[in-house]
Structure 1
Amino acid sequence: MAHNIKKIFCVGLKKKNQSTQRAQNTIPQNKTKPKWKRLFLLGRRKKNDSKNQKIVQDEKEKNLILPTDCLLEIFKYFQDDLRTLHSCLLVDKNWCISTVRLIWKQPFLNKSSPIIIDVYLSCLTLHEKKNLIKNGVDLTNITKPATFHYANFLRHLDMKNFYAAVEARNRVNKIVENRHTDLICRALCRLFTTKCENIQTLHLNWNYVGGWKRYPIFPYQRSASKFLNELSELSIYKVNTRDIFLDMEKHSKNLVKLEILDYCFDNLPEHRHKSIYMLIKNQKNLQNCKLFAYGICPVIPMKALDFQTNSLIHFELIYAKFPSDNNAFISLSNCHNLKTLIIEYCYFENQDILRPLIQTQFPHLRKIRFKSLQSNASEIFVELIKKNSISLRELHYSDEVSRQFNHLILETIVTYSTTSLISLTIPFRNCQTPQLITLLSFSNQLQSLKLIGPYGHERAFVEFLPVLAKLLPSSLHHLSLDLNWVIMNNLQQFLTNLNTRLFTFYISGWSRRIRERHVETIKTYLQQYNPTLDFYDFLKDIT
């Protein structure tokens, strides 16, 4: 049975092969095509191949387009270079969308063009525009609707520069009435609060505007909570007519940086002190606090630092008077993560007021700046150096009574913190020359040096200058010397002996008069060692 099946299968397969071969034999052979037809088909084939290659190339180029998030990260490196950003704006639609966000992120950083106000006015609703026109505001320049919702991109707002831009716009349009300026400001502030939901920096300046009633204040807008909720940096300058601090405290609890500038605490009601206290207290992560508080010391606001002991890293106090010991610095002494401590133009009845600062240690403290104090605080400064010598990198001390005291600051620095310093400003006397030589011999990272003194021994110090030039470390680029009335006859030798290239060199007496031969000597030095540096930029004091 199996043999028969196998035989039938072989016969069927043989017949199939014979029929296939017969069909192939019946197909006529293609004749050779004419030459012109072959060339035509060849050219057509090449044209199709080139089209296919172009399609493939276009697909590859589409795959190389960067997403918007990547473009934004790249463009952030040019966010301060508006000319480059404007060039990127013109590349294509994708680049334009990415760039316009950065350009309109902080339009009022400096004095802004009046055209910016016209652009924002074009973003207003039809109702807002009609209301402005009804009140006499000229909007004839606003002919086209805005290309983007520019108010959505706003992240940093300086009210002084904003108000100045509105006034400049009105001057261009020959509008003199302040009422029109106020109307435009209020309309645009409403636009900002409704469209921008993530403002990050806000600078309020009351000194520029005549009165707060004419000034558009954000905490009193309807959508203030949404507008100010993510605010991270707040600067309030010269606000005395309204309790702005309590109003801001209701909306902003995520401040990282707070500056209260030019604020008078004399005869201030206690509830106003408590308002500042509450604003500081209720912040979740306050890292930077600056109090420019002329008059009586802000004791109650400083006590709020007890609630920022883990987050505060930068503290500045300027123009405050401490006529008695009121434990104002106890709260600050508990801020163990402090990195920068700046006290300028302040008055202390005695140094014991600052003593809480030396009863603790700040393991991360990098910078101490006591500038132009109206009383002696050198002992506290010295103890701070001893307690925190490992982390310190910048030391600055000056007061109005240094002539009456023999400070031991330089001796302490040489003993505790010689090699780690980057910037140094200290009083100096000629008797401390050995300590200065020791300091310069081992300070291989020092970049800035300012010596205040030598208090009546200027002539001897001038004779020492050529030797000092040889001792200056190669890392030093900024030097300032306190020499008022002495004639320098060895400036050429001093500059010749330098082992470093100075970027700034200042002598206090030059602010009154600088001799022609000194000018020529300095210009020759700059041409030889730093030809790109401007002469006046070179003669700058270390602040």
Structure 2
Amino acid sequence: MACQLPTECLNEILEYLEGDKLTLHSCLLVNRLWCKIAVRILWRNILDYNCYQPRSLRIKSSILSTLIANLPIESKNLLHKNEIFISTPTLNSLLFNYVEFCKVLSINKIISIVEDVLSNDRNNLVTNEIIKMFINEISSLEKFTYYYDYYSHINISIPYVPGARDLSELCCSSNLPSSFLFQLSQTCHNLQSISISFEGKNVSNGLNELISSQNKLKNLTLSTYRYRISWAIIIPAVIKHSKTITKLQLYGDYGDLPLSFVSLFTNLQKCIFSFDNGVILEDFKKLQNANFLKLEILKIPHQCFKPEYIIKFLENNGKNLKIFYMLEMNKALSLTIAKFCPNIRKLFIVFNNDEIDILKAIFINCKYLESIKIWFGNRNLYLKKKEVLDTVVNYSQSNFHKLKIHSDLNSDVTPKDWESFFIGWKNRTPKKLLFLIFINIFENDENLKIIEKYQNLGIIKFWCKDIDDSDYVLYN
């Protein structure tokens, strides 16, 4: 039956499995057609793996051995001449030219794979031959990542990237060789997303040219860490795209970063301001009266702006906001959300211990609220869990279905409290499955038994995590 499916139909079906690598791997064993389609999808972004998972070294070894087997004969001879011998999956010819399926290339991931697997003084040669193969074989590249590191012992040479004419996403450092960036600006004009990390003491002269030459730029990320370098040097080039950019992300750990230019980006839909190390940026004061009529997502994961500036900003721009994330404990700010953000869907702010009425007001006034993350800690500073659970059951609207509880203390909620909460949720109309997520919480066995009971009854879906995945989604 499988072989009777038209190729176009089978291709469409397997495309839907792109995020399900386990199922795609099983498709490799059906027949050659299924195998070819599955391989093409799996190798599209072969370097996308979790480097922190237990089997990461095994994954890296497997990728490297396949890449070595895929090298052209002249590269293999060069490695052998330098007495570099790396085992390959098979002694026979490979079934496919795997590299030509790749659409995503990360220079830094290749460096990492070679260094972690080989761990010898000849990594430079292996790395360069693999990169050369990628660049020569990929005819149409979608995403390219290249962060130049002055301190790396790997000397990488990339004169040009022929497949970059179709590039839509670029992640790079500000200190890449100007010759490389100028060359890229000549062939690559349709970037939709650019992410720049300011590294070293110099900013490449080709960076402005590359940014200016784009026609469809929508997403821009600027990061300044470790070095006191301002991104002001590229702001004139960035401003050229003020009408097309809809997603702006700014990261840093110094206080001399200009923000007033952001007011020109009137079509922003998503904005992230992330400045840590206790940085308080007065420059945000210039943005508090700006109007962003299309802004739907605002995330400020650090206490970097004065609350009064954020309050004024929300008064002007809170109407269409759907996601708001801010690590700030301020009563006036919480009240502002209840009053000026009626369409909020997802929310994370920090409540004081006497602000349960404000939480009730948010549930009452924000009728579309679907998810909220509540931070618990010192019982003299934060809300108590029991009163939060009662408030969720009695005041949340029909769209609400996800409660995240973050705590650095042991639970102060009894099994009886949980039982009452779950019964109250079960009796709500309309009935809806509650997604309950614990972050950094270690519940006692009695509470876990009650939670498991109501999960088995289909009332809730429960997870317990050490960290919140959404903290990483801040950067997407």
TM-score by length of 1: 0.71
The residue aligned with 1:103 is 42
Contact 1:232 1:254 in 2 (8 A): yes
Which residue of the partner structure matches residue 181 of structure 2?
A: 248
Q: Offset of 1:445 from its aligned partner?
A: 2.5
Q: Does 1:425 align with 2:348?
A: yes
Alignment of 1:199-278 (within 5 A): 199-205=141-147, 211-212=151-152, 214-218=154-158, 220=159, 224-236=160-172, 242-244=175-177, 247-251=180-184, 252-261=188-197, 263-264=198-199, 268-269=201-202, 272=203, 275-278=206-209
Corresponding position: 1:319 with 2:246: no
1:480 aligns with 2:400: no
Deviations 1:34-79 (A, max 9, x none): xxxxxxxxxxxxxxxxxxxxxxxxxxx99x6524x44433321112
Report whether the alignment pairs 1:413 with 2:341: no
Q: Which residue of 2 aligns with 1:177?
A: 120
Q: Which residue of 2 aligns with 1:292?
A: 223
RMSD over aligned CA atoms reads 3.7
* Identity among equivalent pairs (%): 18
Residue 148 of structure 1: aligned partner: 96
In the alignment, what sits opposite 2:128? 186
Distance 1:537 1:486, change over 3 A: closer
Q: CA deviation at 1:391?
A: 2.0
> Deviation at 1:244?
3.9
> Displacement of 1:285 after TM fit?
1.9
Instruction: Label 1:466 to 1:273 Cα distance change in 2 as closer, same or farther (>3 A).
Output: same
Matched-pair contact (CA < 8 Å) for 2:140–2:164: yes
- The answer to whether the 8 A contact 2:353-2:382 is kept is no
Measured after TM superposition, the shift of residue 336 of structure 1 is 1.6
Residue 329 of structure 2 corresponds to residue 390 of structure 1: no
Bigger helix fraction: 1
Q: Which residue of 2 aligns with 1:195?
A: 137
Q: Which has the higher contact order (CA 8 A, sep 6+)?
A: 2
Q: Give matches, 1:104-119, under 5 Å.
A: 104-110=43-49, 111=56, 112-119=59-66
Distance verdict in 2 for CA 1:371–1:120, change over 3 Å: closer
1:205 and 1:393 map into 2 onto residues whose CA distance is 33
Quick check: 1:78 aligned with 2:17? yes
C-alpha deviation, 1:371, in angstroms: 1.6
**8 Å contact 1:479–1:506 — kept in the other structure?**
yes
The answer for the alignment partner of 1:357 in structure 2 is 287
Q: Which amino acid aligns with 2:76?
A: K
Q: How many angstroms apart in 1 are the aligned matches of 2:332 and 2:413?
A: 28
| C-alpha displacement of 1:537 | 4.1
CA contact (8 A) 1:159 1:204 kept: yes
2:341–2:366 contact (8 Å) kept in structure 1: no
The DSSP-based 3-state class of the residue aligned with 2:299 is strand
| Counterpart position of 1:491 | 417
Cα-to-partner distance string for 1:77-134 (whole Å, 9 max, x where unaligned): 1122233334434444444443332222222111435333333333333332222211
Q: Which moved more, 1:439-448 or 1:480-489?
A: 480-489
Contact 2:376 2:383 in 1 (8 A): no
Q: 2:436 corresponds to which letter in structure 1?
A: T
CA shift, 1:205, in A, is 4.8
Name the structure 2 match of 1:52: none
Segments of 5+ residues of structure 2 without an aligned counterpart are 50-55, 472-476
> CA, structure 1 residues 465+539, in 2 after alignment: closer, same or farther (shift >3 Å)?
farther
Corresponding position of 1:131: 78
CA distance in 2, matches of 1:433, 1:94: 60
AA paired with 1:293? Answer: T
- The secondary structure found in structure 2 opposite 1:390 is coil
For the Cα contact (< 8 Å) 1:430–1:454, is it kept in 2? Answer: no
Whole-Å Cα distance in 2 between the matches of residues 451 and 197 of structure 1? 48
Q: Which amino acid aligns with 2:120?
A: E
Q: Over residues 509-529 of structure 1, what are the superposed CA-to-partner deviations in whole Å (9 max), with x where a residue is unaligned? A: x4xx65554444444444444
Which residue pairs with 1:27 in the alignment?
Answer: none
Q: CA distance change for structure 1 residues 383 and 188 in 2, over 3 Å: closer, same or farther? A: same
- Counterpart residue type for residue 247 of structure 1: F
Deviations 1:468-513 (A, max 9, x none): 13223342312336685894457334444345644234477x4xx6
Q: Report how many residues are paired.
A: 447
Whether 1:378 and 2:307 are equivalent positions in the alignment is yes
Residues 166 and 388 (structure 1), Cα distance of their counterparts in 2 relative to 1, 3 Å cut? same
Q: Equivalent residue of 1:479, what SS?
A: strand
Hey, what's the Cα distance between the residues in 2 that align with 1:124 and 1:226? 18
Q: How does 1:458-477 map to 2 (within 5 A)?
A: 461=384, 464-465=387-388, 467-468=390-391, 469-474=393-398, 475-477=400-402
Determine if the alignment matches structure 1 residue 369 to structure 2 residue 311: no
Q: Secondary structure at the match of 2:334?
A: helix
- Normalised TM-score (structure 2): 0.80
Larger radius of gyration: 1
Between 1:77-86 and 1:189-198, the stretch displaced more is 77-86
Task: State the SS of the aligned residue for 2:85.
Answer: coil
CA pair 157-264 structure 1, distance change in 2 beyond 3 A? closer
CA distance in 2, matches of 1:321, 1:455: 30
In the TM superposition, residue 280 of structure 1 has moved relative to its aligned partner by 3.0
* Separation of aligned partners in 2, 1:480 and 1:259: 32
Q: CA deviation at 1:228?
A: 2.6
- CA gap 1:337/1:519 in 2 versus in 1, 3 angstroms: same
Distance 1:518 1:94 in 2: 51
Q: Which amino acid aligns with 1:195?
A: E
Structure 1 letter corresponding to 2:139:
E
Instruction: Give the structure 2 partner of residue 36 of structure 1.
Output: none
- In structure 1, stretches of 5+ residues that fail to align are 1-60, 171-175
